[in-house]
Amino acid sequence: MPDFEANFPMFHPLQSDEDASHDDLMVARARTALAWGALQGRLAHLPPEVAHHFCCALTRLAIIEALGSSGYPGTEAWFSLWFSGLEPVPDVSTHAAAPASLIAETLLGELMLSPWGPLAEAATQIRGAARFDRDDRGDTPSPPLALAVEEAAGLAQSVRNEAGAADGDWPLAALDRLTQAAAASPNFPPTDREYRVLDLPAGPVALEQAGATPPLWLLDLVAGAVVAPDNPGSRPLPLPGAVRAEALKPHWWPRERAILVADTARVAAQKLTVLVDAAFHAVANMEQLTTRLRSTSRAPVLFRLLSGFGPLRPIQIEKATALSKNGVRELVATLIKAGLTEMSSHHHQAIVCAIPPQGRSTHVSAPEDEPGPLADDKFAEFDAAMADIDRLLSRSNGSNEKA
């Protein structure tokens, strides 16, 4: 078959004849600076309880964004069941950059090393609760994720070494430098689509093939760390979605690329602001309904984990909280009695879910220090066993008294 080569003009339909105006860039940056300032103002005054809830939610968002950008569409719909080990990763029609389990494990491992204590603690709890299948179907990433992690860290370090070179009052100048460095890297810019030639009876036909998806979520993980030196007091948090493939393409003018960076950073900051506000609201509602709990109770910790990250199975809660099965059962009973959680099931497996504020009953009795028995068929066998133990102990005590 004769060689078939598709020739395309060196032209991009979005490429302008000249760069964007300074006014357009200033407007984009002003909107982003406002969103960034609102986020940092909230993060500067986070109570420990709100910080824990927020970090649980941030961890979930980071994993979902990483999976979605790696070729796993509709992640939000199946994530919780997959993370709990109750469902496999759905068949994907697009090219998956890496197995879902490898992406989640790598991301959680990096978050566990976060210099911000609440985030490292939340990631450690969530990593302990992971029950997903570690033998996912997926291609071996190229380059390997370990090398991509090292390169992302190297890019972040090179950008941090340039700290203080901010562009006027633009607080996210380091994010522009990170984007430029990533665009010059061989592993992070999006690859061009490839073409596979089929020799058909009517003649050769070129079929467009999707290119490999770069692990841009690794750049999102280091985005907060590179921005922090230019913004004293800011948290070195991941910014899911802050680095997009579109901004790494070579056809943009400098100010056009800067506008893209500003717009994606604004959306990322707004997402985190929503998480912070939701954390404040959830913790305030929880405190109203758990005023009679002992100060040492771990029930609030469990609620924040469930409300921030998502539903978990009892065995996952055991791993995340380092409690016994009986201890977990008491915590769940306490939260159910307070109207904060509920039990559901999937494939005959119990799942503990946080109840959103709008879904709670307005007539909920305040929990007592010692929760009573949980009326649920899922724990009927457990209740019967505990009752037998109580009867045996009662007989033993009676025998000792007679002696």
Q: What is the pLDDT along the chain (403 residues), one digit of tens a residue?
A: 444 444 433 344 455 678 889 999 999 999 999 999 999 999 998 999 999 999 999 999 999 999 998 888 889 999 999 999 999 988 765 667 788 999 999 999 999 999 999 999 999 999 999 999 876 555 566 568 888 899 999 999 988 877 655 556 789 999 999 999 998 888 787 665 555 566 677 777 665 555 567 889 999 999 999 998 888 888 899 999 999 888 888 888 989 999 999 999 999 999 999 999 999 999 999 888 877 666 557 889 999 999 999 999 999 999 999 999 999 999 999 999 889 999 999 988 999 999 987 655 443 343 344 344 444 454 555 455 555 555 655 555 555 444 4
pLDDT at 289: 82
pLDDT at 326: 93
Task: Break the chain into its structural domains and give their ranges.
Answer: 22-281, 294-397
Task: State in words which class domain 294-397 has.
Answer: mainly alpha
pLDDT at 214: 83
pLDDT at 197: 61
The type of residue at 77 is: A
Angstrom distance (rounded) from CA 20 to CA 253: 8
Closest by CA position to 229, among listed 169, 153, 151, 172: 172
Looking from the CA of 326 toward its CB, the CA atoms found within 13 Å total 6
> Which tokens in the block code for residue 258?
């800067």
For tokens 């490999």, what's the residue?
212
Which residues are within 8 A (CB) of 72 and not within 5 positions of it... i.e. 6 or more apart? 89, 90, 92, 96, 100
pLDDT at 5: 40
